Structure 1
Amino acid sequence: MTRAISGNLERILTSIRIAKERGATLRVGPELEITSPNFPVKRHAVLTFETGDTNLHSWEVLAKILDSEEAQGIVCDVGMPVVHKNVIYNCRVIIYNSQILLIRPKMWMANDGNYREMRWFTPWMKHRQVEEHFLPRIVHAVNGQTKVPFGDAVISTIDTCIGVELCEELFTPSRYSSYSDGPRWCRDLHQLQWRHHELRKLYRRIELMKEATMKLGGIYLYANQQGCDGDRLYYDGCAMIVVNGQVVAQGSQFSLQDVEVVVATIDIEDVRSHRATSSRSNQAAGAERYHRIEVEFALSAGKFEDVKDINALVLSPRHEVRYHKPEEEIAMGPACWLWDYLRRSRTQGYFIPLSGGIDSCATSVIVYSMCRLVTESARNGDKQVIADARRIAGEPEDSAYIPIDPREFAKRIFHTCYMGTENSSIETRQRAKDLAEAIGSYHIDLDMDAVVTAIRDLFAFVTGVKPQFRAHGGSAAENLALQNIQARLRMVIAYLFAQLMPWVRGRYGGLLVLGSANVDESLRGYFTKYDCSSADLNPIGAISKTDLKRFIAYAQDAFDLPILAKFLDAVPTAELEPITETYVQADEADMGMTYDELSVFGRLRKVEKCGPYSMFTKLVYEWGSFLSPVQIAEKVKHFFFEYARNRHKMTTLTPSYHAEQYSPDDNRFDLRPFLYPSRFPWQFKKIDEVAAVLPDRSTMHPAEAKAKTA
């Protein structure tokens, strides 16, 4: 922890120094930036937030910031936990010239989905109230202060007023923060977050900031972490500055940089002009006042004629907001997550069982995307990335090695392995080999029939009976068991090779094993428990098959990988049963539903919180033009039956990159029970009763069907 906090201190001071060099007078950092190993987040609370050490080390770091040359002559907002009257709060500490101006605690907590803030922190419920907080001696020794204001207040400078909004306070229905009355008191407000990446979700965040400043007027400084904090989430940065509804500066959403500073030059008077409306003035006149902390400092340059640098007069123009397509988000988000995990775990690379199917293909291409990002950063001279790449690649610290070719770097740190059996096809084996060659991975091609046969013979020796595949006259139980043993043995072989391949290549350490089960298969339970989906990390575990196909289509051109066309055209298959003249195993046939249908089921179940009956009623409307009510009923019942009976598999899912709200990973995200009555007798009976009397619109003329629906 000490080492991690030291890293955060260095990053904080670096960001302040860069901000000052670029002429900034106010520096805002992300939430809880002092405490976490790399990014301020609650996951490490079991080690930090509830221990006395955390409180001590946080104040030690703040004391060093207060005493630093970097933090002089600029207002800085720093995030850290603070114990006030024996209660732990998530706080912002606003400082200027070695003095603490205000400690502002968070008032609304994120406590659902991926967030459980109230495990560790208590929200500040005394809105618009301020108390005295007595400082520890290590701070008093630096600046002579004994006590400072603690609570819901604003900072009043010579030329403006600054308020604070922390993460969830942006999203609450009633935005009770200093910005809810911002047009009455504040012209400048900063928002601090540890908001994680989800596909297609950045738009919502930005629109909330634009809408607030457009309607109320004001300057909004948004700071967010960027990177992986050792968990399932990637924090997608995108720091920005918004003025009166217009974005004037935006940082990167995905990057390997340790520190990124976004700066804009704005005219504070533009806010006053924007607010010159009668309705706003009427509301402001009757607003309850905020407690103000006054500071003898101006954010603006002062008199026009006093400006010495002509560049300070150039205002930042309107910035066209950069939104990545979902395919680009998949290419970059999981790739950055994998890089952070790899460098911080201090392992020597990744290993993946490459099946020749689209899921392991997508995972491998994401690793290749990671290699592309690393080599791009190295070519741009990023010293931290170069140092990490040298260590991971097995080069000494003083080596001249710089990774500039993604395929060459992949050959050093990425290992793929095709584990064939007698049920594997020539096509999947060749696709795996061609993909490995295209992305540069160190590839192994092996047959594991001898291992499978040994296990099968062992069972026959012990029991006196030998199980057969269905194609050879075996029962359903025999057929399933023989499929599962192949899948489970692949997991065992994967870990053996992951541990020893660096040794085989004359290096030290081991590799992290990657899984490649998509979110739809996990939701349906269409995988073998403890098979090769059991791994150390899974970058696609919360991404739908539909989105993965779009990503592969995108990467085919963006990464110049024509081999990916063959993966798009291939029928998804597990290849665990014998191929005959009349039968080839196919995933969607085995599951009894399509991947597109699974994506719909997943969103209705988790995002729209549908049970069996409400899901049926929604789908009757959405699918009724091409499916009968009885057919829809059967699909819904089949989904819930399989979801319920396979629910226990969710407890062993490989930790996955979070990309979708309907991820079934109950290790982190979905905390529902894992034992359900799979037949749902009451719900299924009601579905059948309603389906029997509803009109079948799938056979009607479109006009007639529309009239029936109305």
Structure 2
Amino acid sequence: MAAIKIAGATVNQTPLDWEGNLDRIIRAVAQAKNQQVEILCFPELAITGYGSEDLFLSYWYPKKALSQLEKLIPHCSGITVAVGLPVRIQEKVYNTVAVIEDAELKGFVAKQFLAIDGVHYEFRWFTPWAAGEVIAFDFLGKEVPFGDLTFHHKDIHYGFEICEDAWRGKERPGYRLCERKVDLIFNPSASHFAMGKSAERKELIEFSSETFGTYYCYVNLLGNEAGRMIFDGEILLGKAGKLLARNQLLSFQDFQLLAFDLEEKAQGLTPMQAKEWEFVQASALGLFDYLRKSRSKGFVLSLSGGADSSTIAVLVAEMVRRGMAELGVKTFVEKLGIAFSPQSENPEKELVGQLLTTAYQGTKNSSEDTFNSAKALAESIGARFHSWTIDEEVKSYTSKIEAAIGRKLTWEQDDITLQNIQARSRSPIIWMLANLNNALLLSTSNRSEGDVGYATMDGDTSGSISPIAAVDKHFILHWLQWAEQNLDRPGLSYVNSLTPTAELRPLERTQTDEKDLMPYSVIVEIEKLAIRDRRSPMDVFLILKEELPLDESVLKDYIKKFFRLWSRNQWKRERLAPSFHLDEFNVDPKTWYRFPILSGGFAEELEQLDHL
């Protein structure tokens, strides 16, 4: 086989940013040509962005994508370029890769298997292509082949599996490509980030390259493209069951290029990182892209001093730290579209202060501990910090209701009402601060609270974006301990010494989250089985009674509580602010798990537990 250089190019794209998307592709092509790359592969749907949603269903959108392809072709002289885009043929839209060789379009490869699980709804937009089928497609008056194609470059025979194609076991196109004796398989992908997912991809590339006896090149999209999914920009090359090259993930750059000489030896392997590091990197990039693509000027956060809001404050600080380190201060602020002139030897803290405004909104039920925790953390990362009380607002609302109903509200009779009015009273004033700053309000809900509705709608759920809504509280508590040491964030020492509490009841009632609910570690185990694995209440009990050191009656009560709270709080999950997909699953009905707002609430299923 000829000794050639190939490359993968990951790009940070945005739906409807036609000029920007094309420019990033063209710049990557130019860089590849400078490095004497002969075949360059871009990710799936790189021209439009994967997150274009129902735009794919329109007639004009795929047509516009083809016009962008036409503009790209002249830039591909002296190189072969594979780039993803949607193509409409009559009433059907196909997810394709266009192959351009020396400024001439050679054909379109169409995706054969569509992703329809988890965050993916590809069958809504696209039609799968039949294996072995090839038709003629009219492109600018010239017929080009379209369908299940392979190509040749010098004496190299190469083909494609497009993302989901590679995850279909014995049905996957790779086996047929192997029968056609290809030497090289490209996998252009739009594979959403999830903690630990990179290890799965590594196994896929090693298995594929060994099983098919080919080089296998994987290229993923990059960045928070359209609001929820984050793409890690992973590029991998494997041969004979061994991983030969891997890039640095979750870059703040517009694009990354990783070139390989086709030889069977390692050419640079960036090591895989632990889940805690992945969480930091993905969240930082997700916040950065959301901030600049929404054209906002910063973030506002109601900083309670507790675990959730403290986690988000640190993630914003890490966004600044990592963005500055990779891009430099000048490029970082230019990409955000803000003016910044460092005035000290610590531009990182200065920039955090410009981008993140926090406020501690106390009541008579708040403790000095949480105030000190919030203040110390804000000061340690450089965030602007305000503090005020909302007792007047709470009193005003309460007195009006008491006058209307003709009685005093009491904790014995009106517990939920008195808790919720405190959380809701914090919302209008923090929104004012966000509006004044042209900033995004950060909501602090986590996945465990989303499971059981342990959040006040229009209170702590208020926000433009909810960065940690897809992450469980058990992980967050662990991560904060880890972050204090590994990220050098001494300001977290206060929050790490506190027991999680909503601080909405009087202090003498000693409210804690786990006392209100159940241990967060138990919620995690129940939700994995009930939501991720879609198990029944009985299945959950039978499995967990063997795994958790709990009395069976206590476990049954926890399971009943989880399913009852889950089913009655779907309406809250429907209204949560957009969140990042960060873990293997989430509870966002718009991306991962749909559930009826109105239901019978597992009544029969839970009753069965009582008769076991």
TM-score past 0.5 threshold:
yes
- Name the CA distance, whole Å, in 2 between partners of 1:82 and 1:558: 47
Could you tell me the percent identity over the aligned residues? 28
Whether the 8 Å CA contact 2:82–2:97 is kept in 1: the answer is: yes
- Name the CA distance, whole Å, in 2 between partners of 1:423 and 1:386: 40
Residue 632 (structure 1) shift: 2.1
Q: Is the aligned partner of 1:136 residue 2:134?
A: no
- Superposition pairs of residues 511-530 of structure 1, within 5 angstroms: 511-530=439-458
The equivalent residue for 1:538 is 466
Residue 445 (structure 1) shift: 0.7
Q: Which moved more, 1:421-430 or 1:454-463?
A: 454-463
Residue 650 (structure 1) shift: 1.3
Residue 180 (structure 1) shift: 4.2
Q: Is the aligned partner of 1:236 residue 2:245?
A: no
Q: Is the aligned partner of 1:88 residue 2:119?
A: no
Residue 517 (structure 1) shift: 1.2
Whether the 8 Å CA contact 1:152–1:178 is kept in 2: the answer is: no
Q: Is the aligned partner of 1:457 residue 2:457?
A: no
Whether the 8 Å CA contact 1:603–1:661 is kept in 2: the answer is: no
- Name the CA distance, whole Å, in 1 between partners of 2:244 and 2:280: 26
- Name the CA distance, whole Å, in 2 between partners of 1:55 and 1:571: 53
Q: Is the aligned partner of 1:223 residue 2:223?
A: no
| 84 and 319 in structure 1: CA distance in 2 versus 1, 3 angstrom threshold | same
- Name the CA distance, whole Å, in 2 between partners of 1:231 and 1:173: 31
The equivalent residue for 2:6 is none
The equivalent residue for 1:188 is 184
Whether the 8 Å CA contact 2:166–2:174 is kept in 1: the answer is: no
The equivalent residue for 1:340 is 289
DSSP-derived class of the 1:352 partner: strand
The equivalent residue for 1:601 is 526
CA deviations 1:371-411 (Å, max 9, x no partner) are 111221343x773x34124x23x45xxx7999973211011
Candidates 105, 117, 126, aligned match of 1:121: 126
Candidates 371, 374, 377, aligned match of 1:432: 374
The equivalent residue for 1:683 is 605
The equivalent residue for 1:590 is 516
DSSP-derived class of the 1:444 partner: strand
- Name the CA distance, whole Å, in 1 between partners of 2:531 and 2:478: 23
Whether the 8 Å CA contact 1:210–1:242 is kept in 2: the answer is: yes
Residue 612 (structure 1) shift: 0.7
Aligned CA-pair RMSD = 2.0
CA deviations 1:655-696 (Å, max 9, x no partner) are 111123442111322112122223x34322322222xxxxxx
Q: Is the aligned partner of 1:6 residue 2:6?
A: no
Matched letter for residue 512 of structure 1: L
CA deviations 1:141-167 (Å, max 9, x no partner) are xxxxx1011110210233110010101
Whether the 8 Å CA contact 1:378–1:403 is kept in 2: the answer is: no
Q: Is the aligned partner of 1:326 residue 2:248?
A: no
- Name the CA distance, whole Å, in 1 between partners of 2:388 and 2:190: 44
Residue 10 (structure 1) shift: 0.8
DSSP-derived class of the 1:191 partner: strand
Residue 586 (structure 1) shift: 0.6
DSSP-derived class of the 2:97 partner: strand
| 658 and 2 in structure 1: CA distance in 2 versus 1, 3 angstrom threshold | closer
Whether the 8 Å CA contact 1:408–1:440 is kept in 2: the answer is: yes
The equivalent residue for 1:415 is 357
| 11 and 568 in structure 1: CA distance in 2 versus 1, 3 angstrom threshold | same
Q: Which has the higher contact order (CA 8 A, sep 6+)?
A: 2
Q: Number of residues paired by the alignment?
A: 599
The equivalent residue for 1:352 is 301
CA deviations 1:99-120 (Å, max 9, x no partner) are 1112111100001211111111
Candidates 117, 142, 145, aligned match of 1:149: 145
Matched letter for residue 682 of structure 1: E
The equivalent residue for 1:630 is 553
- Name the CA distance, whole Å, in 2 between partners of 1:456 and 1:638: 30
DSSP-derived class of the 2:256 partner: coil
Matched letter for residue 631 of structure 1: V
Rg larger for: 1
| 373 and 340 in structure 1: CA distance in 2 versus 1, 3 angstrom threshold | same
CA deviations 1:541-579 (Å, max 9, x no partner) are 111112212321222123322231221221111001111
The equivalent residue for 1:283 is none
Residue 2 (structure 1) shift: 9.6
- Name the CA distance, whole Å, in 2 between partners of 1:206 and 1:455: 57
DSSP-derived class of the 1:104 partner: strand
User: Please, what TM-score do these two structures have when normalized by structure 2?
Assistant: 0.94
- Name the CA distance, whole Å, in 1 between partners of 2:62 and 2:196: 37
Q: Is the aligned partner of 1:246 residue 2:246?
A: no
User: Please, what TM-score do these two structures have when normalized by structure 1?
Assistant: 0.81
Candidates 53, 67, 72, aligned match of 1:45: 53
| 687 and 479 in structure 1: CA distance in 2 versus 1, 3 angstrom threshold | closer
Matched letter for residue 134 of structure 1: D
Q: Is the aligned partner of 1:488 residue 2:424?
A: yes
Q: Which moved more, 1:320-329 or 1:148-157?
A: 320-329
- Name the CA distance, whole Å, in 2 between partners of 1:600 and 1:356: 27
- Name the CA distance, whole Å, in 1 between partners of 2:526 and 2:442: 26
Residue 628 (structure 1) shift: 3.0
Residue 53 (structure 1) shift: 2.2
Matched letter for residue 663 of structure 1: N
The equivalent residue for 1:290 is none
Residue 179 (structure 1) shift: 4.8
- Superposition pairs of residues 146-225 of structure 1, within 5 angstroms: 146-182=142-178, 184-225=180-221
Runs of 4+ in 1 over 3 A off after TM superposition: 178-181, 318-321, 399-404
CA deviations 1:463-509 (Å, max 9, x no partner) are 322212x2xxx31xx12101100101112221112112x3xxxxxxx
Q: Which is richer in strand? A: 2
CA deviations 1:10-45 (Å, max 9, x no partner) are 11111111112122110000111111xxxx21x323
* Structure 2 residues not aligned, in runs of 5+: 1-13
CA deviations 1:217-238 (Å, max 9, x no partner) are 2111111111011221101111
| 247 and 683 in structure 1: CA distance in 2 versus 1, 3 angstrom threshold | same
Residue 72 (structure 1) shift: 0.9
Matched letter for residue 474 of structure 2: T
DSSP-derived class of the 1:261 partner: strand
The equivalent residue for 2:5 is none
CA deviations 1:404-454 (Å, max 9, x no partner) are 732110110100100000000011001100000001001101111111111
Q: Is the aligned partner of 1:263 residue 2:259?
A: yes
Whether the 8 Å CA contact 2:342–2:350 is kept in 1: the answer is: no
